[in-house]
Each structure stands twice: as structure tokens, then as C-alpha cells.
């Protein structure tokens, strides 16, 4: 039964770049049995995607297999001709990509695209193709397949697009499905439906699956075996349960520790000694809250992005805003930073109404300095033409009034030290910095002007889990030392629980539930919160027990 | 600065076509700047005794119908043509980039109004428009510059508008505003520098086109007037003699024109690579 389907032996892949030859994959050996599921886990640059692209021979032109073999049913793919490869792809090996919207043809209806995929190599009639395409849409749980048949990709949500991609991939019943970060960029609840679907389809049709992901929990939950990659090498491979319960390799241990679970603390993520629970400083009675939001509303055309939201935040406190895409959490953070104008409601800062000032003029307000923001994508939020130094120095010069070059330099260097950015890196441009370094620049920029309220808009969403752990620890320390108040926006409930004393759950622009973080996660009062919690993939069964419901293993390991 | 030079060196080494174009450009520029010192003869001194001589060691590009040294006239014309092209493109670039960026950033009614004006301008046959302007304003070099700048303006406005539009909502623009920058400063100090690399390509292509435009106007007798040496006039005057076999009168100025335009066009892509900091690794 369990015949060997794919065997990768000592695979080497190199990319020729301006800096010379870069070895992306260095001696990877893996094998996949027919019908089995293998998770390949690693951080960016680990070579996990390159390995997959080598198997399907979709490496871009700069990349080349420089050594080793990829045997599919005993035949070496690296030596197959382009024509043979064409037949192999789709019929035997299919791939599901990370960004479904980009992988689908935007000007062809999804039904047509499915028919195209089905038509290759066969001579079935149009009616038969259409019937088969409808059946596939049905199989991937698209509601009303007949009506959806003529829909275009832009008319569908990200999760639906990914289901169509999956339908295309399984159209010709391949023996091996390679899913490259299939749910990255999707909401947790959508991720769960897509992954459950993938697991069910591959099990029903006896397809083998290679799941490439950066998410340990996802791999643990959906794969029998997991291989961990680091810098182009497989450092550890074991059945999922064993790998996460007793990781052998130092890197795997670090990765497992850095992944937030329902019980971990910020200190545990980086292996630091536990820090005391943080208690925000007591304010003398009668002090107005640092931030008071009353009946805040934001309307875009007919859509209510933020619908009657009220909450308050004391000095030194950390408040989490969680929700899926479209919940209005980013809009709220921009409203509070006064980057956009509200359609109604008040924003009071230290008792003063700042919501009345138009966003256009807020840059000149004295509160501009006190409310700062750290953006989601550290790369996208740094001016490509500014060095790291200028990125930090510019707002500091504007808002603190320091114009003296030497004073400014020492301020910037102090902030760089504070966020753990080497001073030598200050002269570099954003594209010359790693994701973690860019995140540090973004944080240094915000704290350089000594704000009282820091809005963190998904500050770690674009980072690898080990980098995320370090940045979260940094943010936690900063808050303790500087007495900053945080409004922490995130889609990751585990992160919010660790970072915030109180949490607000948002859905469709409305507050679903709010309260003390630990209590809220232990005993969610609303069904939606429970759904969100249940959808988070876990690798730690014990910790997962901390939540009210445990997600069943889809496939045994 | 040294990093920029180092990077420029790398781009030129790895891209020989750009290097050749850049070298040609430098030669043209040097000829233009040092024209009074490198011209072997006075470009407007006629000497009928040596009229219509073929290229020789004494007169490298031959002499014209009035016995003027064509090589000297070519050099003098380089100076004039480059100056016209550079100032015309400079004006339309500065004005177009500023207007276009503000429209792209603000959007709304102003943007739509400017957009329609641009559409109307572009609906004219541009060269005819330039001819009409020079004819109305008077046959002077300044008017060629103005006319060329005006017909170029719509392209710069559109280009800058589109480039700013895609960056308007970028995180670093929001970050700049959170950092206390006003809208004016966001456009001038943040957005404009970021669209420069792609505009540089436009500028380079446009310089070649502006040279052609100036030469074209002069060829038709608009703008620069004889005896001022200018490539377009030289081609126009020399055209009469081509049937008599005296090809050098029209051949050399035509060649100079072609080489100049070619250099600017080829330079465009290389320039973008040099100016974009993201290409530096």
C-alpha cells in the first residue's frame, strides 16, 4: 500500500545573483509515501519553497538544480525534458500557491478556468467538462456552484479563490499535491475551513500532500510527519506529535519555544527568565483616561467600517484589538492616530477632544507627538529613499524641535540602542535590512518622539516567528520601562493575550466582546470569540486544553 | 555619495550599452560646454573661395555653400541644441512633476479638472501646436523652449500623477504624517524623491525627443534663424545640395542629430538603475 511516491536525494539548488552564487537548498533529502502528508516547516529563506519549486520544475531562471536527484515514482525529474514535465505537472503533481488571487486568471470566469484545467490532455465534450467542473466546485464546498460558475476571481473572497485553486489542482486527480503556504493571508476561521477541506480531499482521493508552511501549529495539526528546514537544510524530521513534544535539534527547540501558545508568556518565547506581571501605575483619582473613545463611527460610502465603538485606555495600559479582516481594527487605529477623519463620535485624549481636529491639520497639533503608530509591514512603512537614520531622525526633528545635528544624532543612536538595532546599520537603506531590523527601525521611529500612546497595527504580522518573539519581548520591555500605553491591533489572539491586560473582540466594525484578556480567552462569552479561538492551530495538546474546545486531528500521525 | 558613484560604476560595467551611451553623452556635453575652444574655425565666417568642399584633413566634415566649416558649425550647434532641449525638458519636468504629484496626492475635483485639461492638450497634434506657438510668439530661441516645454508638460503631469497615486497610501506616507509632516512636505520631500528614478527614464527619452522637436521646428524655418548654426537648419540648408552629390552638408548634421537622440534613449534605462536605491545591494 504505502509505495514510495517521491524521493528527494541530496538536492542542491543555487541561484545566481549579483553577489555571486547563492546556495538556497543544500543537500535536502526527503521522501513521501503515496497518500501520506508531509509538512515542511521553516522561516523565510530556509529553502522550503525553493525545494517545492524544484520538484515541479518551476524555479525561476536564476535558479538551477546543481546536484542530487528528485525521483517521482522512480523517475528522475531533474533530467526530464520540458515536454515530459508538462505531462507530469497537473496529471501527477499539482500545486496550490500562496496568493490565490494572483494565481487565478483575472479575466476568465472560474468555471472556464476549471474547464481549461480539466480539458488538458483529454477530449471530453464541453457538456462533460462543465459537469465535471461543477462537481469540483461542489467538492470544494463552493455554495451555489451553478451561479458561481460564471463569477470572476475579483468577485470572490480570498478563501473562495483558494478553494477554486484547490479545485483546479485536484482536477486531474494528481498523486501528489504541493501546497505552498496555502492559507497565509487568510483569516484564521477561513484558514481552518480551507485546511480542513484540503485534508479531507487528499484523504478521500488518496493523494499525498506536501504542506509548506511557516506555521508550526498548522503543520502539526494537518501533517503526519514534519520536516524542519533551516538555511537550505533539513535539520530534523519526525512524526508531528513527537517533533513538537520533544524537539531534538536546537533550532527546532527554539522555533517551538518562539511560537505563541495559549499559555506562553512573552519571556518564554525568547527563553528569558520570567518577568513579573505588569501593573499599570495608579493614577490619582479624577485624572481623565489617556484615551477615551465614544461612539466612534467611520463610513465608507454605504459601508460602515467602524460602527459605534466605545472604549477607554488608561496611561500605561495595554489594550488589544482583535478581529479578522474587515473587522475595522486597522480603521480604528488610523482614526485614533488621526490619520483619517471619523464620520461620527468623539476621540478624547487626556480629556481633550482631538477628534474634532481635521486629520489634515493634525500634524501641527501638540498631540501629534504623543500619539504614535507602528505599522504592520515594516518594509512598506519605511521610505525607500531614506536611510534608517533619516527614518528615525525625520519625525524626531519635526516633533521634538531638536535641530542641532549632534543632539539629533545622539537621540537617534540612543533609540537604536533601545530597540537593539546596531548603530552601524543606521546608514543602511530599508532594502538592505532584514525584516526584524526594519521592524526595529519602525519602533525606534515611533519612540524617538517620546509618545504616551503607541498604536501597534499588527507590528509582527509580517515577521518570522522567531523574530516576532524577539520584537514582542522588546515591545513588552519598552512598555515597562517607559510607561507607554499600547493599543495593540492583531489578528493573532495568542499574541494579544500575552501583550495586553484587556482585549476587545471586533467583528464587522462592532465590538463583540471586551474584558480582561485572561478571563476572556478562558471563558469567552460570545460564540464568535469561541469560533476564533477554536480556529487557531495548535501543536501543544496540553496548552490547547486551556481553551474550551480542542480541534480534532484531521489525520492521525 | 561615494556609494552612488560605486553603484553607478557597477551599472555601467554590467551594462555596456549604457556605458557607451553615457560616454557618447559626455562627449556631446563636453563639446557643447567647450564649443568656443574646440571649434577649429569660426562657424559663421564665410569664405566663398572654399565653398562646397568635400571632407578633408583641413575641413573634417567639409564646407557648405558659403564656405563655412561644417565641423565647427556642428560643434556650435551641439551647444545650442542641448541647451534648448535641456531647458525645455527642465521646465516641463519641474512644473509637470509638481502639478502631477499634487493632483495624484489630493485626488478629487482638482485632479479631475487638471486631468481634463491634460486630455485636451494631448488631443492636439503636438508638433503643430508647437509650430503655432512659435509662429504666434515670434521666431526666437526662447519661444522654441517654451513651446517644447508646453507640449511636453501633459506627459509629465500624467506620469507624476500616476506614480504618486500608487504610492499615496503606502505605509511610509502614513508614517510621515504620523511623524508630523504636513501634506506639502509629504509631497515634496517624500513622494517626489521616490518617483524620481522612474521619471529619470522619462527625462532621458524626452531629451532626445526635445532635440528632434527643436531641430524639426528650425528645419521648417521656425525658431532659430540662419546664420545661427543649428542641426535642423543645417539639414534644411544642405538638403538642396544632396542631389548634386554634396552629401556632407546634410549627412553630418543628420548623423549628429541621430547620435544625440540615440544616446539619450539608450541612457534612460541605465539612469533608472543608477538612481533607484533599491537596485543597490
Give the tens place of pLDDT for each residue, B235-248: 988 888 988 888 89
Residue with cell 506562553: A264
Tell me how far apart the terminal alpha carbons of chain A are, to the nearest angstrom. 17
Contact flag A445-B190 (C-beta cutoff 8 Å): no
Beta bridge partners of B151: none
Which residues in chain B have Cβ-Cβ distances shorter than 8 Å to A363? Answer: 177, 180-182
- Quickly tell me which residue has 493614577 as its cell: A283
Cβ separation A429–B177 shorter than 8 A: no
Sign of CA dihedral B88, B94, B97, B100: negative
Cα distance between residue A173 and residue A522, in whole Å = 43
In the block, cell 549632534 appears at A406
Nearest to B55 by CA among B66, B69, B45: B69
What does R_g of chain A's alpha carbons equal in angstroms? Answer: 25
> Residue A384: which of B176, B278, B281 has the nearest Cβ?
B278
A69 bridge partner residues: A9
Interchain proximity B277–A382, CB inside 8 Å:
no
Smallest CA–CA distance from A378 into chain B, residue: B171
Smallest CA-to-CA distance from A329 within A458, A452, A460 is with A458
Instruction: Report pLDDT for A1.
Output: 46
User: Residue ranges per domain, chain A?
Assistant: 4-261, 309-364+452-549, 371-450
For the cut 50, the answer to whether the pLDDT of residue B132 exceeds it is: yes
DSSP one-letter string for A265-317: -HHHHTTPPPPPPP-PPPPPTTPPPSEEEEEEEEEETTEEEEEEEEEEE-TT-
Name the residue with higher pLDDT: B276 or A25: A25
- pLDDT over 70, % of chain B: 97
Closest CA to B156 of B95, B96, B116: B96
pLDDT at A547: 39
C-alpha cell at position A392:
528615525
A550 has a pLDDT exceeding 60: no
Average pLDDT over residues A268-279: 80
pLDDT in tens, A8-34: 999 999 988 777 788 889 999 999 999
pLDDT at residue A371, rounded to an integer = 94
CATH fold of A309-364+452-549 reads: Rossmann fold (3.40.50)
**Distance (Å, whole) CA A228 – CA A480:** 35
Whether A392 and A444 have beta carbons less than 8 Å apart is answered as yes
CB A327 within 8 A of CB A509: yes
- Residue B97's Cβ-side half-sphere holds a number of Cα atoms within 13 Å equal to 20
Set of chain A residues whose Cβ sits within 8 Å of the Cβ of B15: none
Grid coordinates in use for A263?
A: 499559555
Predicted confidence at residue B200, as pLDDT, reads 84
pLDDT tens figures, A478-495: 998 888 999 999 988 889
The pLDDT score that the predictor gives to residue B279 is 64
Among B180, B194, B281, whose Cβ lies nearest the Cβ of A385? Answer: B194
- Domains along chain B? 2-44+58-279 (1.10.3720.10)
- Whether the CB-CB separation of A506 and A306 falls below 8 Å is answered with no
Q: ipTM for the complex?
A: 0.79
Q: Please report residues of B whose CB lies closer than 8 A to that of A446.
A: 178
DSSP string, B53-72: PPP-SSSTT-B-TT--BHHH
pLDDT score recorded for residue A355: 84
A4-261 matches A309-364+452-549 in fold:
yes
- pLDDT surpasses 70 at B68: yes
The C-alpha torsion from A212 through A215 and A216 to A218, rounded to 10°, is: -80
Task: Choose among B181, B277, B280: nearest Cβ to A398.
Answer: B181
Q: What is the mean pLDDT of chain A?
A: 88
Q: What pLDDT is recorded for position A540?
A: 65
Residues B188-195 have a mean pLDDT of 92
Q: Indicate the CATH number for domain A4-261.
A: 3.40.50.300
Residues 6+ apart with CB under 8 A from A341: A335, A358, A359
pLDDT at A385 over 70: yes
Q: Which residues of chain A have a CB within 8 Å of the CB of B176? A: 383, 394-395
The pLDDT score that the predictor gives to residue A137 is 92
Q: Looking at the partner chain, which of B179, B183, B193 has a beta carbon nearest the beta carbon of A395? A: B179
Quick: pLDDT tens for A51-98.
Answer: 988 888 887 777 889 989 999 988 888 888 888 888 788 778 999 988
pLDDT of residue A546 exceeding 50, the answer is no
Residue A2: per-residue pLDDT: 60
Q: How far apart are CA B270 and CA B24, in angstroms?
A: 14
Amino acid at each position: 500500500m504505502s509505495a514510495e511516491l517521491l524521493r528527494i536525494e541530496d538536492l542542491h539548488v543555487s541561484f545566481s545573483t549579483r553577489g555571486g552564487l547563492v546556495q538556497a537548498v543544500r543537500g535536502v533529502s526527503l521522501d513521501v509515501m503515496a497518500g501520506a502528508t508531509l509538512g515542511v516547516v521553516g522561516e523565510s529563506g530556509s529553502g522550503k519553497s525553493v525545494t517545492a519549486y524544484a520538484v515541479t520544475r518551476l524555479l525561476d531562471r536564476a535558479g538551477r538544480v546543481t546536484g542530487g536527484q528528485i525521483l517521482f515514482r522512480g523517475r528522475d525529474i531533474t533530467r526530464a525534458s520540458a515536454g515530459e514535465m508538462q505531462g507530469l505537472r497537473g496529471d501527477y503533481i499539482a500545486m496550490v500557491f500562496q496568493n490565490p488571487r494572483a494565481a487565478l486568471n483575472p479575466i476568465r470566469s472560474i468555471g472556464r478556468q476549471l474547464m481549461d484545467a480539466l480539458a488538458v490532455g483529454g477530449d471530453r465534450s464541453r457538456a462533460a467538462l462543465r459537469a465535471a467542473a461543477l462537481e469540483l466546485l461542489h467538492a470544494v464546498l463552493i455554495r451555489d456552484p451553478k451561479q458561481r460558475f460564471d463569477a470572476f476571481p475579483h468577485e470572490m473572497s480570498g478563501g473562495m479563490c483558494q478553494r477554486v485553486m484547490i479545485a483546479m489542482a485536484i482536477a486531474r486527480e494528481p498523486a501528489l499535491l504541493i501546497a505552498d503556504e496555502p492559507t497565509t493571508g487568510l483569516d484564521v476561521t477561513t484558514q481552518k475551513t480551507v485546511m480542513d477541506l484540503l485534508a479531507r480531499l487528499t484523504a478521500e482521493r488518496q493523494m499525498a500532500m506536501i504542506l509548506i508552511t511557516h506555521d508550526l501549529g498548522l503543520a502539526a495539526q494537518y501533517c503526519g510527519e514534519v520536516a524542519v528546514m533551516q538555511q537550505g537544510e533539513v535539520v530534523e524530521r519526525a512524526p508531528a506529535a513527537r517533533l513538537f513534544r520533544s524537539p531534538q535539534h536546537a533550532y527546532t527547540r527554539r522555533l517551538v519555544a518562539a511560537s505563541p501558545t495559549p499559555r506562553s508568556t512573552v519571556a518564554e518565547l525568547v527563553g528569558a527568565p520570567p518577568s513579573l506581571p505588569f501593573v499599570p501605575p495608579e493614577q490619582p483619582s479624577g485624572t481623565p483616561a489617556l484615551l477615551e473613545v465614544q461612539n466612534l463611527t467611520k463610513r465608507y460610502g454605504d459601508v460602515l467600517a467602524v460602527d459605534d465603538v466605545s472604549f477607554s485606555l488608561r496611561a500605561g495600559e495595554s489594550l488589544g484589538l482583535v478581529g479578522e479582516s474587515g473587522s475595522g481594527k486597522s480603521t480604528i487605529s488610523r482614526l485614533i492616530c488621526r490619520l483619517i477623519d471619523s464620520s461620527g463620535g468623539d476621540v478624547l485624549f487626556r480629556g481633550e477632544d482631538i477628534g474634532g481636529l481635521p486629520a489634515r491639520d493634525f500634524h501641527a497639533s501638540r498631540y501629534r507627538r504623543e500619539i504614535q503608530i507602528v505599522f504592520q509591514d515594516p518594509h512598506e512603512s519605511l521610505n525607500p529613499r531614506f536611510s534608517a537614520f533619516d527614518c528615525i531622525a525625520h519625525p524626531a526633528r519635526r516633533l521634538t524641535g531638536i535641530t542641532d545635528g549632534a543632539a539629533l544624532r545622539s537621540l537617534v543612536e540612543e533609540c537604536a540602542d533601545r530597540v537593539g538595532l546596531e548603530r552601524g546599520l543606521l546608514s543602511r537603506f530599508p532594502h538592505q535590512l532584514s525584516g526584524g531590523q526594519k521592524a526595529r527601525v519602525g519602533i525606534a521611529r515611533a519612540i524617538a518622539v517620546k509618545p504616551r500612546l503607541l498604536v501597534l497595527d499588527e507590528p509582527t504580522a509580517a515577521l518570522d516567528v522567531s523574530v516576532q518573539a524577539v520584537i514582542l519581548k522588546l515591545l513588552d520591555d519598552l512598555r515597562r520601562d517607559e510607561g507607554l500605553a499600547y493599543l495593540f491591533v492583531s489578528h493573532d489572539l495568542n499574541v494579544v493575550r500575552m501583550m495586553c491586560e484587556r482585549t476587545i473582540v471586533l467583528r464587522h466594525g462592532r465590538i463583540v466582546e471586551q474584558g480582561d484578556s485572561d478571563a476572556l480567552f478562558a471563558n469567552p462569552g460570545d460564540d464568535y470569540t469561541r469560533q476564533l479561538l477554536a480556529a487557531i492551530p495548535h501543536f501543544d495538546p496540553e496548552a490547547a486544553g486551556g481553551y474550551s474546545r480542542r480541534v480534532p486531528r484531521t489525520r492521525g500521525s | 555619495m561615494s556609494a552612488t558613484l560605486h553603484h553607478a560604476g557597477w551599472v555601467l560595467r554590467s551594462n555596456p550599452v549604457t556605458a557607451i551611451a553615457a560616454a557618447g553623452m559626455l562627449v556631446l556635453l563636453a563639446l557643447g560646454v567647450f564649443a568656443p575652444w574646440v571649434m577649429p574655425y569660426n562657424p559663421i565666417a564665410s569664405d566663398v573661395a572654399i565653398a562646397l568642399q568635400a571632407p578633408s584633413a583641413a575641413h573634417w566634415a567639409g564646407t557648405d555653400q558659403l564656405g563655412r566649416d561644417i565641423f565647427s558649425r556642428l560643434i556650435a550647434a551641439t551647444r545650442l541644441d542641448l541647451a534648448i532641449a535641456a531647458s525645455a525638458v527642465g521646465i516641463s519636468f519641474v512644473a509637470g512633476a509638481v502639478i502631477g504629484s499634487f493632483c495624484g496626492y489630493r485626488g478629487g475635483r482638482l485632479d479631475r479638472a487638471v486631468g481634463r485639461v491634460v486630455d485636451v492638450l494631448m488631443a492636439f497634434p503636438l508638433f503643430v501646436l508647437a509650430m503655432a506657438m512659435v509662429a504666434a510668439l515670434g521666431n526666437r530661441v526662447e519661444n522654441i523652449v517654451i513651446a517644447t516645454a508646453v507640449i511636453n508638460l501633459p506627459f509629465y503631469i500624467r506620469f507624476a500623477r500616476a506614480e504618486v497615486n500608487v504610492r499615496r497610501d503606502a505605509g511610509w506616507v502614513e508614517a510621515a504624517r504620523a511623524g508630523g509632516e504636513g501634506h506639502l512636505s509629504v509631497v515634496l520631500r517624500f513622494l517626489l524623491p521616490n518617483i524620481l528614478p522612474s521619471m529619470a527614464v522619462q527625462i532621458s527619452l524626452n531629451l532626445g525627443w526635445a532635440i528632434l522637436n527643436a531641430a524639426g521646428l528650425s528645419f521648417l524655418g521656425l525658431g532659430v534663424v540662419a546664420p545661427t548654426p543649428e542641426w535642423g537648419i543645417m539639414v534644411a540648408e544642405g538638403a538642396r545640395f544632396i542631389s548634386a552629390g554634396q552629401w556632407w552638408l546634410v549627412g553630418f548634421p543628420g548623423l549628429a542629430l541621430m547620435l544625440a537622440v540615440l544616446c539619450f534613449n539608450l541612457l534612460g534605462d541605465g539612469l533608472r538603475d543608477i538612481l533607484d536605491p533599491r537596485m543597490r545591494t
